[in-house]
Amino acid sequence: MTPSPDGPRPDPPAPGGPPSGPLAGDSDLGPRLDPASRQALQQIVEQSRAVLARDPRNLAARRDLGSALYQLGEVAAATNELEQVVKRDPRDAGARYLLALCLAEGARLDEAATHLRQVVKVRPRHALAHYFLGRILGLQGRLAEAEAAVRRAVDIQPHPRMITYLGELYLSLGDLGRAAACWRKLLEMDPGDHHARRNLVATYVDRGMYDQAIEEGNRALVAGASHPALYYNLGLAYLRRGDVEQSIEHLERAHAIDAAHIPTLVALGEAYATAGRLAEAGQAWEKVLERDPGNPVALYDLGVAALREGRPEGAASYWRQVLAGGSGFLPARRALATLLVQQGRATEGIALWEEVVRAEPRNAEARSYLAQTLLLSGEFERARQAAREAAELDADDPRSAVVELLASARRDDELGVVRSLRRAARIRGFVPRALAACRDILDPEELKRWSERLKDRTAARVLALLLDELMQAP
């Protein structure tokens, strides 16, 4: 039962379940202890202690004692024995590896990471040393380093738990494509891995790949999977694809299984509202607020519903609650600012964004929304300046390009229009992203007049594409 210090064979966890320390959750990397194994380990402990009583300098016996104690869950005692071994023989990679695990379970993460780095220098193909080093780095928030360590472990020994954690790291790093690749790899290894399939569905939803999400989700349902997260993500996929009835059906199933899941209630409210069932939407969002009184998404959506019902002051009240909660939820601030401008209270709307920009000078999104609010207020030169400042912080922002375009157009500044469109030509996926962000402020007739005036080919091409998509949009 003594773990191999050199090979990739998994080490067993503490008896009776997974480790209790920061590395909890990796019980599937090794076998659980049955009574016979426990008895064998206890015999190793007794024999090792007997040897050490006669010969305290016997490192082999002390190493066996530390290993057996660790596997029996006696972490503090194991740490003491293994520290003595490593102190006397720094080259003992097996003892150092086990010592690192003991230190990690005792939340001594920096020391554990130092020991694991020493192990992989001596044993570069020790998969578990790479993996647990990645786990520790992940706990410390050093995600890029964690990803490199776990990826190395997976290259050596593609264990499902390692691949799962690698996928989780990619999600934390925002690399949804590689996360999806991890879930697909797990499904190649085990097509019945419902957890991996749920993760793949959720990742497809996050990437906007709704058809793929629905295909994978329905495949999981056919295979007998039934989990609230699966129904939730299927409901979101159907909602984003515009199939509201299917969305409601799946979100209601998710809510029936797990009534306490707040995101499901939020999405269900949105689906009801999209279907025109505003009373049910309001009830869903009110349930969210019963569980989470300051939930910014529910308050924002209640404001949108109030505005649709012709109650602008009610909408403003909900959105002001979001701002008072300090959540930083920008859609509520944007909606309130737009409403104030429409009510002839432009100064108040502009002030909402200026407050954010003063507090967060490098917040490109806030500057972009400030530019849009200034545009709606008729302050075209200030709008153009704010848009350019937003672009300096985020050159890939389509909103600031649209605002600069419209502000220049309304000042009859052809050079400014050309400049904004040439910048738009360098923005990845400009046309669909611009429509998603700014469709409500784009006037087809205004764009058509400018398309007839422009002589700059690049600017004319971008404007033609934007106008064509705008005319075809529902």
* Residue 127 pLDDT: 93
**CA distances (Å), 260 to each of 49, 60, 217, 266, 287, in order?**
53, 54, 22, 11, 10
Give the CATH architecture of domain 362-474: Alpha Horseshoe (1.25)
Enter the tokens of residue 184.
């697909």
Predicted pLDDT at 24? 52
Architecture of domain 1-140: Alpha Horseshoe (1.25)
As a whole number of angstroms, the distance between CA 292 and CA 5 comes to 49
The matching CATH number, chosen from 1.25.40.10, 1.10.10.10, 3.40.50.920, 3.40.50.720, for 293-361 is 1.25.40.10
Quick one: pLDDT at residue 36? 86
C-alpha of 441 from chain center: 30
Of 388, 410, 408, 409, the closest CA to residue 397 belongs to 388
| Tokens encoding 40 | 């064998």
N- to C-terminal Cα separation, the chain: 67
For the chain, give every residue range classified as CATH 1.25.40.10. 1-140, 293-361
Name which of 436, 426, 374 is nearest 395 in CA terms.
426
Provide block-wise average pLDDT over 10 residues at a time, the chain (474 residues): 29 32 51 77 92 92 91 90 92 91 90 94 94 94 95 95 95 92 94 91 92 92 87 95 95 95 94 93 94 93 92 95 86 90 90 90 92 94 96 94 96 95 94 90 94 93 93 75
Q: Are 198 and 187 in contact (CB under 8 A)?
A: no
Tokens of 288: 């969210």
**What was the pLDDT predicted at 22?**
56
In this predicted structure, what is the pLDDT of residue 23? 56
